[in-house]
A and B are shown apart, each in its own frame.
Chain A
Amino acid sequence: MIKFLANNSHVIEKALIIILVTLFSAFFIFAIFNQAPHSNELQVLTLTQLDKTGVTNIVTAVLLNYRAYDTFIEFAVFLVVAIAVLPYIIDTPVLTFTLQEESQVLLIAKIFIPLTIIMAGYLLWIGSTKPGGAFQASALLAGCLVLLSLANVQVINFTQLRYRLLMSSGLIAFIAVILLLYLQSHSFLTFPVELAGASILVIEFFATFAIALILFLCFESINKGHA
């Protein structure tokens, strides 16, 4: 009996896991459907207050005004990731800026990068009215950097002061806005209606670069790890 168990331990383990996961899922589905969802009063509330937020897109309003505090901490999370990953970049030597032979990737990069940068700028700008904003724009910018990196063009030396500054710029801009608004309104993270749109744009502008750089840093840490 014991021998049988020992020989088939993998199968038994898998079977147990499958049984447990199935039971859990069944209970989960039962519990979820047992209870009616809420009546979404919050969305109505979000819409009625929208004209006081300085933006007209509901998602941007939630992210950078109603629950701006969450986004603020989220920027800090990004920076922590950057600090954690950074040492693994420093250890590897940085190639100098060399345009080697015309590879296909470089060709693609030359065509797409200018377009993508314009696209990123557009996404950032329309964030206040339509779906878009800092996160989407920074993903595009990071894509440009990744394309350059694949074409063997090294443009960023992460150890330099200015890149450290740029990576923290999203958070720095956010803190600066918070402190300036504090002087004006004596309350934490309150955007006055007339300044809200501009403040949000400033934060998003810097956050775009910061997040793009951090995303690229994460890519590079894996990329260099393999090389």
Chain B
Amino acid sequence: MKRVAMILKVEVNLINNFITIFSIPTLMILPMVIAIICFVAGNTRLSRLISVISSITLVVICALQAGYVLQQAAPIELIIGGWQPPLGIRLSINEFSAIMLLMTSTIGLAITFYSTQYFDDDEKEIRFWPLWWFLITALNGVFISSDIFNTYIMLELLGLSAVSLIAIQGTQQALQASFQYLLVGLFGSLMYLLGVAIIYRTYGVLDNQLVANLVESNTSMQLALALITLGMMMKCALFPLHFWLPSAHSNASAPVSAMLSALVVKAAFFILFTFWFKILAPVVTFTAVTIMGIFGAMAVIYGSYRAFTSPRLKQLIAYSTVAQIGYLFLAFPLMFTTPDLARTAVIYFIVAHGCAKAAMFLAAGVIQKAMGHDQLSQLQGIASQLPISIFVFAVTSASLIGLPPSGGFIAKWLLLNNAVEAQQWWWVLTLFIGGLLASAYLFRVLNLAFTTPTQENSLTVLAISESKLLGAVGLSIITIIIGLNAMWLTNLITGSY
């Protein structure tokens, strides 16, 4: 008995050791090595095999890290090269980033599995894998970075790999969309870099924590925050600057759209959130957060309206992303009065939306493949032909609308509760209108899917296997599970602050 206990203890020690010393670099080096192998070998079979294996490994590592961080209620930190911060770079995983990393790896696994069966063109697939793994490297890099300049480099890697992933689709629209995305991304990164330059000029440090300790409210910091906000708003497509998102996300191939909507915009949001409420917190004023909240509210209504009127399925989902990003910014004014509640709501919302949106895009990809197009007007009766895709679509719709017992419901409930608690009830109105509009545009699709097609435009559906949707089914189940186990997750998040 004693011996077993001892062995267990040794093992726990080993795991703890692994987490604290090896796990953070693994998050960067593993995907990068896979990317290089995929690029150099240029072999689809090998790429698929190692991609699935390493995705599973990443999920295990991220789950261990998240468990460690949430249990210890202390961030995992790593000082690179032994050079203490003003000189070197610090990486850290706190509760927020641990959950983001776990979400990245889980959604990444689902999409990787889907992609192994998605492409029917070998050449496209050969281009896809290395870029895909660099994208995952960049996402991990953004979430673990604790240095404002290092974040810029991660943004560069993220932007360039995302642009190239859209471009491999090869169609005229995809190339145009990716070029526009490239310009938007560059503009966003440069604004961010200018902000960072101003911060560095004033305080001479780049580490998040050191900047946060030194910062005080003055004109140059206001300017820095404004520039960074502008850049990141552009990258996460908040309402007045969302113009590039629908074309970029709807013209990419399904796995890429899923990743862009679920995670890449969230990475920009993550950076913005960190700057507003951690690094440059003293600069933030009530007026500023209210303006962000108003932008968010406008995004919810405008995005939902455009989703309702879009003629194509993927465009509809892309506009829905514009709307859902808006909800995240509704939490900004709430962060000012009730930070703990609002932070929980934001994290919850990101997870719920990420899983739901990724699964929805994957399902839309199958529908598009099977029909050869994604014109909404001709999707009548597909429910009988593609039952799993429609099942995934329906479950994730419930989450996006915010119907119980999905994760989306809890996320909206948290926001609503929070808005009342913070005595800013007017945001509740946006939540209601947004929910109604979301149900309108999503039921539009479901309604069509279940109607029997009329004789003249009877369905011509290609025989296509839906087995690749396994990961998407998994994600939609996750959206339900986090809805049913809401207390557990919220306690975990709030308990760790």
Contacts and interface: CB of A to CB of B under 8 A. Distances in A.
B118 interface: no
Interface string B76-115: 0010111100111100000000000000000000000000
B469 interface: no
B157 interface: yes
Interface stretch (B25-33, B426-434, B453-461, B481-489): B25-33
Contacts of A30: 219
B285 interface: no
Contacts of B164: 80, 83-84
A39 B204 contact: yes
B336 interface: no
From B86, B131, B223, name the one whose CB has the most chain A CB atoms within 10 angstroms. B223
B219 A187 contact: no
Contacts of A171: 32, 36
B127 A83 contact: yes
A32 B194 CA distance: 12
A42 B204 contact: yes
B32 A164 contact: no
Interface string B151-173: 00110110011011001100000
B127 A188 contact: no
B24 to A, nearest CB: 7
Contact of B219 (A34, A46, A164, A168): A34
Nearest to A49: B87
Given A83-B164, A168-B40, A171-B32, A38 B202 contact: yes
A190 B219 contact: no
Interface size class of A (residues with CB under 8 A): 35 or more
A1 B441 CA distance: 39
A213 B419 CA distance: 56
B81 A31 contact: no
B202 A70 contact: no
Given A73-B157, A189-B80, A32 B201 contact: yes
A87 B130 CA distance: 13
B40 A28 contact: no
From B42, B81, B198, B201, name the one whose CB has the most chain A CB atoms within 10 angstroms. B81
Contacts of B472: none
Interface stretch (A61-69, A96-104, A105-113, A143-151): A61-69
Contact of B42 (A37, A42, A164): A164
B157 A69 contact: no
Interface string A69-92: 110011011011101101100000
Interface string B295-319: 0000000000000000000000000
A179 B222 CA distance: 42
Contact of A83 (B82, B130, B153): B130
B81 A191 contact: yes
B479 interface: no
A178 interface: yes
Contacts of B83: 49, 65-66
B396 interface: no
B169 to A, nearest CB: 12
A4 interface: no
A175 B33 CA distance: 8
Nearest to A188: B25
B72 interface: no
A73 B153 contact: yes
A38 B78 contact: no
B287 interface: no
A164 B39 contact: yes
Contacts of B24: 188
Nearest to B214: A38
A34 B141 CA distance: 34
A81 B130 CA distance: 11
Interface of A: 27-28, 30-32, 34-42, 45-46, 49, 65-70, 73-74, 76-77, 79-81, 83-84, 86-87, 161, 164-165, 168, 171-172, 175, 178-179, 182, 186-191
28 contacts: A31-B198, A31-B220, A35-B218, A37-B202, A38-B202, A38-B203, A40-B204, A49-B83, A67-B89, A70-B149, A70-B150, A76-B35, A76-B137, A76-B157, A77-B156, A77-B160, A79-B39, A80-B131, A80-B157, A80-B164, A83-B39, A83-B130, A84-B163, A165-B40, A171-B36, A178-B25, A179-B29, A187-B21
List the 9 closest A-B pairs by CB distance, nearest first: A38-B204, A84-B164, A35-B220, A31-B223, A31-B219, A188-B25, A31-B220, A189-B81, A34-B219
Given A27-B223, A70-B89, A83-B39, 17 more contacts: A34-B220, A35-B218, A38-B200, A45-B86, A49-B87, A69-B150, A76-B32, A76-B157, A79-B134, A80-B131, A84-B160, A84-B163, A161-B42, A168-B39, A175-B33, A175-B36, A187-B81
Interface of B: 21, 24-25, 29, 32-33, 35-36, 39-40, 42, 78, 80-83, 86-89, 123, 127, 130-131, 134, 137, 141, 149-150, 153-154, 156-157, 160-161, 163-164, 167-168, 198, 200-205, 218-220, 222-223
